Amino acid sequence: MRVVEEEVAELGDGMVLLQVEHLSIDAFIRTTFDEAAFHGTAELGNAVIALGTARVLDSRFEGLHQGDAVFGPVCAQEKVVLPGVMLQKIDDSQLPARCHLGVLGLTTGMTAYAG
């Protein structure tokens, strides 16, 4: 592993700048190293892809605004730019956003509940 500092590129239409808050360390990460994975493959030397929660810093995507909490395939890095269509806005007014990685999560709580 290595630490890389880069400038954040200007946002294009439909893109969102995020501050990553929490990462889920689960089986999803292993699937990103599978060349046959439907969601794409992690490239050697790039940041590790992980499901996580983040806070919107800037948005060029309709429906997501600065300060919104989101869930999606963020990376193991402080800030990330992603297409807004890859993100799910979450309500963190009653439960902390990190609950969307555990009991409300896609790869743990919901998988255990639904099978």
Indicate the domain borders of the chain.
Answer: 15-114
Looking at every residue in the chain, the average pLDDT score rounds to 83
Question: CATH for 15-114?
Answer: 3.90.180.10
Convert the pLDDT of each residue in 25-54 to its tens digit. 777 777 777 777 666 677 777 777 788 999
pLDDT category at 109 given cuts 50, 70, 90 is: low
Cβ distance 24 to 68 under 8 Å? no
Around Cβ 80, how many Cβ atoms within 10 Å?
20
Assess whether pLDDT exceeds 60 at residue 84.
yes
Q: What is the pLDDT of residue 65?
A: 98
